Amino acid sequence: MRRFILIAVPYIWLLALFLVPFLIVFKIALSDTALARPPYLPQFDWATGLGAFLAELDFENFVFLTSDALYWKAYLSSLQIAVIATLITLLVGYPIAYAMTRAPEAWRPTLMMLIILPFWTSFLIRIYAWMGILSQEGFLNQFLLWTGVISAPLTILNTNVAVYIGIVYTYLPFMILPIYAALDRLDGSLIEAAEDLGCSRLSAFWLVTIPLSKNGIVAGSFLVFIPTLGEFVIPSLLGGSGTLMIGKVLWEEFFSNRDWPVAAAVAVVLLVILIVPIVLFQRNQQKQAEAEA
């Protein structure tokens, strides 16, 4: 009995906070938009019963998503931005994590603190700060003009470049921490053994360090990729009209168009797309746990 309760707690948690909200969203996705409050029909009515209620639900909105090129283009563009941003974050994060494991023992808590420190400030404020840095008259342009690298200010804000900068900046800690954890566990004598057996420093890095930090790389990449795919704040604040991301489309459907059913359908499809990497991520975590056992 006690075991049952113990297992039931997380399941009830998942049921109440994930499955129930999902079902509500899914139901809205199957409804029709209406000038009402809430702005969709049907509403469940005890008088007409369950049968009549279910009969009114249909997949119309999902079909609609395929009819307008905007949606699949937004999904594809989101995927593309998420993949590229994840790769950039990896390229920036890996050397930082590597340098942290090479730093003297006494410095490491401080370095770790510096990585986590940005979380102490509101995410929204930090993105607004980037607007100040990247704008036409921003700090970056003023600095570049002052050093003479450029003669006319660069347009960075409201382009995809600004979106990438924002994503890499925001999600970098999620990349660094798992890679750092993996590299920190790496036995230094393995590198020495590789060198002893004829590897140069670089090939020892490729053949030993990289494969043995693979789990950290995979975990970090998913931790960046998954939230980036549905990101809304960064593209809407730093991106321009050319930045097409599904999070932004969803927001517009919901608040500008007030078309809750289509917005819900967009959200459901996004979730389906995300399930693949989430399952892969879980499998990686599980494999890692098994390898360590």
Partner 1 sequence: MQTEVFAPWDDPDQKPLIRFKSVKKQFGDFTAIQDLSLDIFEKEFFALLGPSGCGKTTMMRMLAGFETPTSGSIELAGQDIGSVPPNKRSVNMMFQSYALFPHLSIWENIAFGLKRSKMPKGEIEARVEEMLRLTRLEKFKARKPHQISGGQRQRVALARSLAKAPKLLLLDEPLAALDKKLRQDTQFELMDIQEKTGTTFVIVTHDQEEAMTVASRVAVMDEGRLMQVSTPATIYEAPNSVYVADFIGEVNILSGHAKPAGDGLYAVTWADGQPPVIAASNTPYSDGQQVHLAIRPEKVAISEAKPDAENAVEGKVLDIAYLGNLSTYHIALAGGQIIKAQTANTQRISRRSFTWEDTVWLSWTPTAGVLLDQ
Determine if 181 is a binding residue for partner 1 (CB under 8 A). no
Residue 285 beta carbon to partner 1: minimum distance, rounded to whole angstroms: 17
Q: How many CB atoms lie within 10 A of CB 113?
A: 9
Residue 154 beta carbon to partner 1: minimum distance, rounded to whole angstroms: 44
What is the rounded (10 degree) CA torsion for 97, 98, 100, 102? 170
Q: By C-beta, is 125 or 202 nearer to partner 1? A: 202
Determine if 43 is a binding residue for partner 1 (CB under 8 A). no
What x/- string results for residues 214 through 253 when contact with partner 1 is judged by CB under 8 A?
x---------------------------------------
Nearest of 77, 63, 48 to residue 245 by alpha carbon: 77
Determine if 83 is a binding residue for partner 1 (CB under 8 A). no
Residue 98 beta carbon to partner 1: minimum distance, rounded to whole angstroms: 18
3-state secondary structure of 32: strand
Q: Considering only residues 82, 85, 163, 208, which one is a binding residue for partner 1 as defined by CB under 8 A? A: 208
CA 286/CA 130 separation, integer angstroms: 37
Q: Residue 186 is encoded by which pair of tokens?
A: 């790496």
DSSP letters of 87-108?
HHHHHHHHHHHHHHHHS-GGGH
**What residues does 40 pair with on adjacent strands?**
33
Determine if 118 is a binding residue for partner 1 (CB under 8 A). no
Region 186-205 residues binding partner 1, contact defined as CB under 8 A: 187, 189-190, 192-200, 203
Over the Cα atoms of the chain, what is R_g? 24
Q: By C-beta, is 168 or 218 nearer to partner 1? A: 218
Q: By C-beta, is 160 or 213 nearer to partner 1? A: 213
Residue 181 beta carbon to partner 1: minimum distance, rounded to whole angstroms: 16
Q: By C-beta, is 205 or 254 nearer to partner 1? A: 205
Determine if 289 is a binding residue for partner 1 (CB under 8 A). no
Determine if 133 is a binding residue for partner 1 (CB under 8 A). no
Q: Considering only residues 145, 212, 233, 273, which one is a binding residue for partner 1 as defined by CB under 8 A? A: 212
* CA distances to 36, 67, 86, 207, 213 from 92, in Å: 49, 39, 10, 20, 15
**What residues does 33 pair with on adjacent strands?**
40
Determine if 125 is a binding residue for partner 1 (CB under 8 A). no
**What residues have CB less than 8 Å from 92, skipping those under 6 apart?**
168, 172, 175
The window from 37-45, 185-193, 223-231, 259-267 that contacts partner 1 (CB under 8 A) reads 185-193
DSSP tag of 41: E
Q: Which residues of 24-61 are buried (b: 16+ CB within 10 A; e: fewer)?
A: ebbbbbbbebeeeeeebebeeeeeeeeeeeeeeeeeeb
Determine if 106 is a binding residue for partner 1 (CB under 8 A). no
Residue 292 beta carbon to partner 1: minimum distance, rounded to whole angstroms: 9
Interface ranges with partner 1 (CB under 8 A): 187, 189-190, 192-200, 203, 207-208, 211-212, 214, 291
